[in-house]
Amino acid sequence: MSDNRLRHEKSPYLLQHADNPVDWRPWGPAALDEAKETDKPILLSIGYAACHWCHVMAHESFEHTETAALMNALFVNIKVDREQRPDIDQLYMAALHALGDQGGWPLTMFLTPDGKPIWGGTYFPRDARYGRPGFADVLRQIAALYRNERTQILEQADKITAHIAAASRPTEAGQLDAALLDRATDAILGIMDPGAGGTRGAPKFPNAPVLGFLAGRAEGTNRPDLTTVVSATLLGLCNGGIYDHVGGGLARYSTDARWLVPHFEKMLYDNAMLIEQLALALPRAGRDADLFRSRIEETIAWMQRELQLAGGGFAAGLDADSDGEEGLFYVWQRDEIERVLGKEEADFLSAIYDITETGNWEGRTILNRLSHPERLSAQDEARCRRVLDTLRRHRETRPRPSLDDQALTDWNALAITGLATAGFRLQRPDWVDLARTTYAAIVDGATDEGRLRHVASEGPNRARAFATDLAGLARAAIALHQATRESHWLAEAGHWLDDLDRHNGDGAGGFYLAPDDGDVLIVRKRDRLDEATPNAHGIAAEAHVRLWALTGNDHYRAKADAILAGSAATIRGNVFGTASLLSALDLRLNIRSLVVIVPEDATADALLDALRAHGGRHLVVDWRAEGAPLPEGHPAFGKGTVGGKPTAYLCREGSCSLPVTDAAALAALLERGVSADQVFI
């Protein structure tokens, strides 16, 4: 009988493997001690619940009795959920990169009993094919090498570990300036696809950190080439098959170069960042504004309908597979659509959404509007929505993809930021309230013995907060401050940044991913590269810059400068992978603060409307009741209202505009910025 110990875990991914005949162990001291005591190497398998190729390898090998027996005889087998333990995932993914493999999931690594990497790969078929060796052959070869060539194996493991450790050491601080932004912009633009958007070729990922950086630069420089590629990317995401036109929400990536064929898993983080990017794009969207609003509304509705958890917060994502087949829940046949809708409505929809008898993917249809991106009349767009809703209700009768129901703190922080931003921009107080209640649910559910945890739920092996959790909640609190105009959110943000520095700071302007009292790993990593989500350093630098502008506290500016200076070598070496840090640098150099002083019993609705329509990515808004003092170091210190009206001052680099009380004048000022003839001397 299998000695599989995953049945005691809470992770949906680990529980997917709880009935395997493999003697799986969760990561922890007990599993490592067992490897040392039995002198067996470790087989480490890392994945996540919505991962298609993880399922394939599980069905082929981990559920196969003979393969499982071989694993049990030769290795101590450890299974890790990368969503719960990004620190372990990043560590051993770096080891795989050091071996020359580009990586991916499932991540399959072979380790010494003390956790040092020997060799690895990603998906291995049970029998040799696709140019990959068979998994059983790999198992035998690694075990034989460990048994017969122990000295060489241990030397290689030491070298790989030393390589990872060297990459995680602090680098010398460097100077960052506007010239670097220009060079980085041009370098990234050179690999972008100006026609379809995203990076050139296939696959195409949403890559919100890169999109956000280019959008900020387009806004700040008015370069048409940047505007073109940002617009093309947003339109590709909104019109391509990567977007679920029936039910709302974005898939993780497109397997082709047109955004047509998604890898069908739908993750919270992609959709949270899509909402934010579309909301921030609205002031410059022009004729695409209605499309962006529709996609925001549909995506939030999908999140509430399919990801929102009973206790508050959002689940991590939905599987790509249902009934063991990738995409089965999402694709259509023309005759099925006609049976559901009738011929007239099916014909109407088919002409717009690329629905044909032969299909556009493996004989089936992925709905998309790539060939008809133009907006229809309001009447026809409403008709589309009604018909698509009918398809959605029919689709609910199909076998559903499984839900990864973990409420991850950092991904929920992205959702809070997106909801608060969209709620403010689109005047949807219900979305702002949802952001507020999500924040409360996550903080309450993830706090244990006074410390924030990475997963907001009960259960064993809950890791303490990672740097992405703390930085993300700080940024989320600032977004809530901007949406609600409630000052206590700034104190919340400061609290999380203090915790980040206390438990994850390296003393040299950087952050370890894992806290100082987390599991002891062979290397404590402090990477500065973005993944699908922004790196903690980029998030933290942005949060510090915004808090500096909102509070006038130079401590936050100094912390932001230290993060950026400590990241200089990494940024220069990989501008694409450090887009979130580049965005933070752009913000640091170009941030503007709009101070709005509001008399008692007055409303600033007209100024708010101007702000929604014209406020950009480099702007923070400091709402002040009349008489609430600004810090003495703030450039607007001592300023007040004019004529008893709500009064705005646009400030930058120690100077402020003349007072503005008129909405049209504020709109013009926001478009123009602060210039020498507008400032107090």
pLDDT at 1: 60
pLDDT at 675: 46
Strand extents, DSSP E, 492-598: 592-598
pLDDT digits (tens, 9 = 90+) for 407-448: 999 999 999 999 999 999 999 999 999 999 999 999 999 998
- How many residues are present in the chain? 681
- 681, pLDDT greater than 50: no
Closest CA to 116 of 90, 92, 132, 98: 92
Rounded (5°) CA angle 626-664-234: 105
pLDDT at 627: 86
Closest CA to 42 of 106, 121, 125, 108: 108
Query: Checking phi first, is residue 222 left (phi over 0); if not, alpha (psi -120 to 50) or beta?
Result: left
Closest CA to 238 of 320, 189, 296, 284: 296
Q: Is there a contact between 514 and 86 (Cβ–Cβ < 8 Å)?
A: no
Calpha distance 155→161 (Å, rounded): 10
Which three-class secondary structure state does DSSP give residue 109? strand
The class that CATH gives domain 178-322+404-589 is: mainly alpha
Percent of the chain scoring above 90 in pLDDT: 88
- Residue 608 one-letter amino acid: L
pLDDT at 459: 62
* Phi, psi of 668, deg, nearest 5: -65, -40
Which range has the worst mean pLDDT, 39-48, 510-519, 581-590, 669-678? 669-678
Strand extents, DSSP E, 327-441: 403-404
- 125, pLDDT greater than 90: yes
Q: Is there a contact between 85 and 463 (Cβ–Cβ < 8 Å)?
A: yes
Q: Work out the average pLDDT over 400-410.
A: 96
What own/partner pairs with CB < 8 Å and gap ≥ 24 does 548-551 have?
A: 549/591, 549/592, 549/593, 549/620, 549/622, 550/478, 550/481, 550/490, 550/593, 550/620, 550/622, 551/490, 551/631
Counting Cβ atoms within 10 Å, is residue 585 exposed (0-12), middle (13-18) or buried (19+)? buried
Q: First vs last Cα of the chain: how many Å apart?
A: 82
| Cis peptide bond N-terminal to 106, omega within 30 | yes
Q: Which residue has the tokens 């990494």?
A: 570
Strand extents, DSSP E, 197-268: 253-254, 262-263, 266-267
pLDDT at 462: 75
Can you read off the two tokens belonging to residue 553?
């506290």
Q: Is there a contact between 318 and 389 (Cβ–Cβ < 8 Å)?
A: no
Q: Which residue has the tokens 């401050």?
A: 481
Q: Is there a contact between 410 and 397 (Cβ–Cβ < 8 Å)?
A: no
- 14, pLDDT greater than 80: yes
Residue 336: which residues within 8 A CB-CB, separation 6 or more? none
Q: Work out the average pLDDT over 272-277.
A: 98
Calpha distance 141→155 (Å, rounded): 18
pLDDT at 173: 77
Rounded (5°) CA angle 57-60-63: 100
Whether 6-167 shares its CATH topology with 591-678 is answered yes
pLDDT at 283: 95
Calpha distance 584→540 (Å, rounded): 9
* Phi, psi of 370, deg, nearest 5: -65, -35
Q: Is there a contact between 415 and 441 (Cβ–Cβ < 8 Å)?
A: no
Please, which pLDDT band fits residue 673 given cuts at 50, 70 and 90?
Answer: low
How far is residue 444 CA from its own chain's centroid?
Answer: 22
Q: Which residue has the tokens 């973005």?
A: 530
Calpha distance 276→269 (Å, rounded): 11
Calpha distance 260→373 (Å, rounded): 13
pLDDT digits (tens, 9 = 90+) for 575-591: 999 999 999 999 999 99
pLDDT at 132: 81
591-678 has which CATH code?
Answer: 3.40.30
Can you read off the two tokens belonging to residue 203?
């696959």
Closest CA to 252 of 60, 401, 385: 401
Please, which pLDDT band fits residue 676 given cuts at 50, 70 and 90?
Answer: very low
pLDDT digits (tens, 9 = 90+) for 505-563: 999 999 999 999 999 999 999 999 999 999 999 999 999 999 999 988 999 999 999 99
Residue 135: which residues within 8 A CB-CB, separation 6 or more? 57, 60, 61, 67, 124, 125, 126
- 257, pLDDT greater than 60: yes
CATH topology assigned to domain 6-167: Glutaredoxin (3.40.30)
Q: Which residue has the tokens 């933290």?
A: 540
pLDDT at 176: 87
Where in the chain are the domains? Answer: 6-167, 178-322+404-589, 330-397, 591-678
Strand extents, DSSP E, 13-75: 24-26, 42-47
Can you read off the two tokens belonging to residue 98?
């050091």
Residue 130: which residues within 8 A CB-CB, separation 6 or more? none
pLDDT at 450: 86
Q: Work out the average pLDDT over 56-79.
A: 97
Which three-class secondary structure state does DSSP give residue 547? helix
Please compute, for residue 387, the number of CA atoms within 13 A of its CA located in the half-sphere on the CB side: 23
Distances in Å between the Cα of 604 and the Cα atoms of 311, 477, 662 are 35, 22, 10
Rounded (5°) CA angle 410-413-416: 160
Percent of the chain scoring above 70 in pLDDT: 98
* Phi, psi of 198, deg, nearest 5: 70, -170
Distances in Å between the Cα of 455 and the Cα atoms of 189, 303, 371, 419, 469 are 37, 18, 42, 20, 9
pLDDT at 461: 56
Q: Work out the average pLDDT over 358-364.
A: 96
Distances in Å between the Cα of 629 and the Cα atoms of 72, 619, 641, 679 are 68, 21, 13, 20
Q: Is there a contact between 421 and 479 (Cβ–Cβ < 8 Å)?
A: yes
pLDDT digits (tens, 9 = 90+) for 296-308: 999 999 999 999 9
Please, which pLDDT band fits residue 170 given cuts at 50, 70 and 90?
Answer: confident
pLDDT at 677: 42
Can you read off the two tokens belonging to residue 386?
């009604």
Please, which pLDDT band fits residue 460 given cuts at 50, 70 and 90?
Answer: low
Which three-class secondary structure state does DSSP give residue 328? coil
Which uninterrupted H or E stretch holds 411? Answer: helix 409-425
Q: What is the dihedral of CA 437, 535, 185, 181, to 10 degrees?
A: 100
Calpha distance 440→280 (Å, rounded): 24
What own/partner pairs with CB < 8 Å and gap ≥ 24 does 653-656 have?
A: 655/679, 655/680, 656/595, 656/680
